[in-house]
Amino acid sequence: MQLAKFYAMTQYTALAAHIKADANLPTEYGNFRMRVFVDDEGSEHSVLSVGLDDSSTVPIVRIHSECLTGDAFGSLKCDCGPQLRASMARIQEEGSGAILYMRQEGRGIGLEAKIRAYALQDRGLDTLDANLALNLPADARKYSFCAEMLTSVGVDEVRLMTNNPLKVRGLRSNGITVHERVPHLVGRCKLNDHYLSTKQKRMGHLIPEQA
């Protein structure tokens, strides 16, 4: 029993070692707790959370990949900015949840490559073909570190706010129980309608056709 307890404690310590900083973050949506993690490649990611110590409910969680153009500059080429803001509001409403903010710009290809892909989209290519024309993957994101982050903050069961089935499979394959996929449909407009239709038709995202 003592050996098992020691093993469990060392496992927790190893996971918790990923937490590099921990502080409160007041926002226009309410107060969050922000914890910063650094992966093996030196990239910094964060968990923005509320009420994760409430064991009576399964928290609602959003995995949000960094999008400088959408999150910070309000780009209408995508729905990322509205998705981020809506998830912050939803988590505050529910009182238990988290946003995993992952430094995976451009679905993992980086900012420079993403803007180069945007230039090809300006010439008529869709979001998938633009990546492929640059000899880049359609989606280079991985979800194992997301699962480690969740485990480090004491979460092994979630309701996942996403339209992307790959995120559901990514968490489940790394030991996180996903009880429910919660659709996250916000921010669609005339300028990103083709982008979202491409994700639905060619990349398997669960986005309904616009009425």
Question: Does position 204 have pLDDT exceeding 80, yes or no?
Answer: no
The answer to whether position 58 is within a domain reads yes
Task: Measure the CA–CA gap between 61 and 105, rounded to whole angstroms.
Answer: 19
* Residue showing tokens 């979800």: 143
**Which SS3 state, helix, strand or coil, does residue 2 take?**
helix
Beta bridge partners of 160: 61, 181
The answer to whether position 64 is within a domain reads yes
Query: Minimal CA–CA distance to 210: which of 153, 17, 191?
Result: 191
Q: What local confidence, expressed as pLDDT, does residue 5 receive?
A: 40
What does the DSSP 8-state code read for residue 54? -
What number is the average pLDDT over the span 159-187? 93
The answer to whether position 179 is within a domain reads yes
Task: Measure the CA–CA gap between 176 and 187, rounded to whole angstroms.
Answer: 28
Residue type, 109: I
Read off the CATH number of the domain in which 31 is found: 3.40.50.10990
The answer to whether position 2 is within a domain reads no
Outline where DSSP puts E strands in the chain. Answer: 19-27, 30-38, 44-50, 60-65, 97-102, 157-161, 177-182
The answer to whether position 124 is within a domain reads no
Task: Determine the length of the chain.
Answer: 211
Q: What local confidence, expressed as pLDDT, does residue 210 receive?
A: 61
Q: For residue 187, what pLDDT band results from cuts at 50, 70 and 90?
A: confident
How far from 54 is each of 48, 62, 171, CA to CA, in Å? 15, 18, 21
Residues carrying an active site annotation: 139, 141
The parent domain of residue 197 ranges over 21-104+141-202
Q: What local confidence, expressed as pLDDT, does residue 2 receive?
A: 45
Q: For residue 88, what pLDDT band results from cuts at 50, 70 and 90?
A: very high
Query: Minimal CA–CA distance to 162: which of 186, 142, 144?
Result: 186
Question: Does position 10 have pLDDT exceeding 70, yes or no?
Answer: no
Question: Does position 67 have pLDDT exceeding 50, yes or no?
Answer: yes
What does the DSSP 8-state code read for residue 49? E
The answer to whether position 127 is within a domain reads no
Starting at the earlier edge strand, list the strands of the sheet with 44-50: 19-27, 30-38, 44-50, 97-102, 60-65, 157-161, 177-182
Task: Measure the CA–CA gap between 13 and 126, rounded to whole angstroms.
Answer: 45
Per-residue pLDDT of 98-126, as tens digits, reads 999 999 999 899 999 999 999 999 999 98
Into how many domains does the chain fold? 1
The answer to whether position 122 is within a domain reads no
Residue type, 96: S
Per-residue pLDDT of 11-34, as tens digits, reads 444 444 389 999 999 999 999 999
The answer to whether position 208 is within a domain reads no
Task: Measure the CA–CA gap between 113 and 176, rounded to whole angstroms.
Answer: 31
The overall average pLDDT reported for the chain is: 88
